[in-house]
């Protein structure tokens, strides 16, 4: 069954048709990768899935409900968590505080700045956040200010922030960008384990084909705002159209 249904989604920025007519189904409990050249429209599509952008045409349904026009915390409450291409963390706050805020917002519907001390006393939320930081090998950084973290560690923090919310659908836009290979491999292992343990669906946008072929069960190739082909990883690897779309960009596809 498709947990995410994208139908006829189009998005224009001025004279540029960033998304043409996108149709995409993401099946429940799968890892679905969306790949394609720079500027193909991958992030625009993801932003349309989480209410950050409203498409000009089409519909986006999550578990039978439209996500369009909803506020970020409403999207979280529906069970969708996301890592955007550009990190969205509070640099002045600690790693732990960044972990707690979205969990609190998801539970209570909105985040109130004055409530940080209150959140720190919410034992169930704190325990979940600590568990994720341990899983991400970041527990020793819990009091570090997020602004002083490396690019790769910021990504790892954002993934941990999402997983602590226990989402049903996890949307990741280049989650391993800037990570050392060892951290990338640990992140792949963690996502695989969580996928085995939880009722979770993952849609991942990625340029690193090592990540794509380690995780994905289904792959959609997007080119010039339109899905070019969708298939299993094995079929995608040898697909001539994929080579065309990736010419000079990756050897693995
Ligand atoms: N807010 C915006 N205003 C105008 N043009 C935009 C905006 N956002 C994206 N675009 C354009 O839309 C097209 C698709 O961009 P998008 O960021 O979705 O591509 P992408 O596939 O995610 O690329 P990359 O792999 O480089 O991240 C690009 O030509 C981009 O310049
Ligand atoms: Mg992008």
Cα–Cα distance between 120 and 85 in angstroms, integer? 28
* Gap between the Cα atoms of 133 and 192, Å rounded: 16
**Parallel/antiparallel/unpaired status of strands 16-27 and 2-13:** antiparallel
State the pTM of this model.
0.92
Q: Kindly give the interhelix angle for 95-108 and 123-135, rounded to the nearest 10 degrees.
A: 130
**Ligand 1 pocket, residue 38 CB under 6 Å:** yes
**Confidence tier at 248 by pLDDT (50, 70, 90):** very low
pLDDT at position 241, please? 75
Q: How many residues does the chain have?
A: 253
CA of residue 86 to ligand 2 center, whole Å:
9
Please name the residues in contact with 65: beta carbons below 8 A apart, sequence gap of 6 or more.
78
> In the chain, where are the structural domains located?
1-79+167-253, 88-166
- For residue 19, give the ligand 1 atom closest to its CA: 14
β-pair type (201-205, 218-223): unpaired
Across the range 14-41, mean pLDDT stands at 96
Using alpha carbons only, how large is the chain's radius of gyration in Å? 18
Report the pLDDT value the prediction gives residue 197, as an integer from 0 to 100.
Answer: 93
- Contact between 158 and 83 under an 8 Å Cβ cutoff? The reply is yes
Atom 29, ligand 1: residue with shortest CA distance = 39
Residue 18 near ligand 1, beta carbon < 6 Å: yes
19 C-alpha to ligand 2 centroid (Å): 13
Give ∠ CA 50-212-58 in degrees, rounded to 5.
Answer: 30
Q: Which of 42, 23, 60, 72 is nearest to 174 (CA)?
A: 42
Residue 201 CA to residue 204 CA, distance in Å, equals 10
The rounded percent of the chain whose pLDDT value lies above 90 is: 75
Q: Is 76 in the pocket of ligand 1 (CB under 6 A)?
A: no
Per DSSP, the three-state class of 104 is helix
What pLDDT sits at residue 73? 81
Ligand 1 centroid to Cα of residue 237, in Å, is 25
Mean pLDDT value of segment 216-240: 92
What pLDDT score does 22 carry?
Answer: 97
In a 13 Å sphere around the CA of 215, the CA atoms on its Cβ side amount to: 34
Lowest mean per-residue pLDDT among 30-39, 123-132, 206-215 = 123-132
Q: Averaged over 124-137, what is the pLDDT? A: 92
Per-residue pLDDT of 50-77, as tens digits, reads: 988 999 999 999 999 999 989 888 898 9
Q: Is the dihedral of CA 99, 49, 51, 3 positive or negative?
A: negative
| 65-66, strands of its sheet edge to edge | 16-27, 2-13, 57-62, 65-66
pLDDT tens track for 158-171 = 999 999 999 999 99
The CATH number that domain 1-79+167-253 falls under is: 3.40.50.300
- CA 177 / ligand 2 centre spacing (Å): 11
């Amino acid at each position: 069954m498709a947990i995410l249904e994208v139908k006829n989604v189009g998005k224009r920025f001025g004279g540029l048709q960033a998304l043409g007519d996108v149709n995409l189904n993401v099946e429940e409990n799968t890892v679905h990768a969306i790949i394609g050249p720079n500027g193909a429209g991958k992030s625009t599509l993801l932003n349309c899935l989480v209410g950050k952008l409203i498409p000009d045409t089409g519909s986006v349904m999550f578990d039978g409900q439209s996500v369009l026009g909803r506020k970020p915390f409403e999207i979280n409450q529906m069970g969708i968590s996301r890592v955007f291409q550009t990190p969205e963390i509070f640099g002045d706050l600690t790693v732990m505080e960044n972990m707690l805020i979205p969990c609190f917002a998801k539970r209570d519907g909105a985040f109130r700045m004055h409530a940080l001390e209150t959140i720190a006393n919410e034992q169930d939320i704190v325990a979940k956040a600590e568990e994720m930081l341990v899983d991400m090998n970041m527990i020793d950084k819990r009091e570090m200010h997020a602004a002083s973290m490396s690019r790769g560690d910021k990504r790892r923090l954002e993934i941990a922030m999402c997983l602590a919310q226990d989402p049903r659908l996890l949307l990741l836009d280049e989650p391993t960008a800037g990570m050392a290979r060892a951290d990338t491999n640990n992140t792949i292992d963690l996502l695989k384990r969580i996928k085995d343990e939880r009722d979770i669906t993952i849609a991942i946008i990625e340029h690193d084909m090592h990540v794509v072929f380690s995780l994905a069960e289904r792959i959609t190739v997007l080119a010039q705002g339109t899905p070019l082909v969708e298939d299993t990883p094995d079929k995608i690897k040898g697909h001539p159209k994929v080579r065309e779309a990736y010419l000079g960009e990756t050897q693995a596809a």
